């Protein structure tokens, strides 16, 4: 299954990705997580990406496309993948479609988690993210068992550098301006599935499962 998970910042992409990848046995490819890993390791790409991410701006298409196409070449993507946070521009979507076309395949579906902006701001301000495995927690809706530490790997929970008011407001603007057209790009191909992301975490999971059960591999 070749899937795209899209939605505004804080919609629950990372939270829902865990269940989807387990169900289909596919790797989770989050461009945000990969870029943050480069920043932590202080690689040349990380140094460039940091300047954009901390301001809530998109990293340039050519850098992200190089990173994703390298990742898609790995063996674990042979039978599918879940892309989280990519493609984020129509240029990225067209390049992805072209890349898959050359391999004789295509995206099976795009899952669009729909959440209004006011809900997103509250979610992000109370989010805590694992420094080691990137798992997301919430001080109210998904509390870690041991405060300050990840349930999955025991890593330290932190606030992301782009989870401040100024960067979040820019990320929302960028989503509406650059990424909403990507959803329409796939809707025109009959591949977009909208899911109500304002429900509880478990109910969103069920809605995604129901929607994906209708998708033919
Ligand atoms: P990225 O890491 O992709 O961030 P994002 O899209 O802004 O999304 P988030 O990770 O903030 O939110 P999420 O939807 O994963 O929500 P989560 O599950 O954590 O990208 C970061 C940056 O990297 C970009 O701004 C850009 O600079 C760069 N970048 C990445 N990809 C790029 C690309 N393709 N091109 C160019 N640049 C790129 O949940 C949020 C919170 O809500 C958590 O606390 C969670 O516990 C809680 N929660 C989740 N679901 C629910 C629910 N149903 N009810 C209540 N609480 C919930
Ligand atoms: Mg995320």
Q: Are 204 and 196 a contacting pair, CB within 8 Å?
A: yes
Task: Note the pLDDT of residue 38.
Answer: 96
Structure tokens at 114: 């729909």
pTM: 0.97
Flag whether 71 is in a domain. yes
Flag whether 16 is in a domain. yes
Q: How far is the CA of 30 from the centre of ligand 2 (A)?
A: 7
| Test site for ligand 1: of 9, 70, 201, most ligand atoms within 8 A of the Cβ | 9
The count of structural domains within the chain is 1
Q: What is the CATH number of the domain that holds 54?
A: 3.40.50.300
Our answer to whether residue 88 is catalytic in this structure is yes
Flag whether 144 is in a domain. no
Measured from the Cα of 115, ligand 1's closest atom is 53
Our answer to whether residue 171 is catalytic in this structure is yes
Q: How far apart are CA 214 and CA 1, in angstroms?
A: 12
Ligand 1 in contact with 150 (CB < 6 A)? no
Flag whether 191 is in a domain. yes
Query: Per-residue pLDDT tens for 146-179?
Result: 999 999 999 999 999 999 999 999 999 999 999 9
Flag whether 51 is in a domain. yes
Task: Note the pLDDT of residue 203.
Answer: 98
> Which member of 2, 123, 128, 171 is catalytic?
171
> Which member of 13, 36, 123, 128 is catalytic?
13
Flag whether 38 is in a domain. yes
| Test site for ligand 1: of 15, 46, 195, most ligand atoms within 8 A of the Cβ | 15
Task: Note the pLDDT of residue 204.
Answer: 98
Task: Note the pLDDT of residue 216.
Answer: 78
Q: Which domain holds residue 108?
A: 2-116+172-216
* List of the chain residues with pLDDT < 50: none
Flag whether 123 is in a domain. no
Flag whether 81 is in a domain. yes
């Amino acid at each position: 299954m070749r899937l795209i998970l899209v939605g505004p910042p804080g919609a629950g992409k990372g939270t829902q990705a865990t269940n989807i990848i387990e169900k289909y046995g596919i790797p989770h490819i989050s461009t945000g997580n990969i870029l943050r890993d480069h920043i932590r390791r202080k690689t040349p790409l990380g140094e460039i990406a940091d300047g954009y991410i901390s301001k809530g701006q998109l990293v340039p298409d050519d850098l992200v496309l190089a990173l994703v196409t390298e990742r898609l070449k790995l063996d674990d993507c042979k039978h599918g993948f879940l892309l989280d946070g990519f493609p984020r521009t129509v240029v990225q979507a067209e390049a992805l479609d072209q890349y898959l076309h050359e391999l004789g395949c295509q995206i099976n579906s795009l899952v669009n988690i729909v959440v209004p902006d006011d809900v997103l701001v509250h979610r992000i301000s109370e989010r805590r993210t694992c420094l080691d495995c990137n798992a997301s927690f919430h001080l109210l809706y998904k509390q870690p068992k041991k405060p300050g530490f990840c349930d999955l790997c025991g890593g330290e929970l932190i606030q992301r550098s782009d989870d401040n008011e100024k960067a979040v407001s820019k990320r929302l603007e960028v989503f509406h301006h650059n990424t909403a057209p990507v959803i329409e790009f796939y809707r025109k191909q009959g591949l977009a599935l909208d899911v109500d992301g304002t429900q509880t975490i478990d109910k969103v999971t069920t809605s995604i499962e129901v929607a994906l059960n209708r998708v033919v591999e």
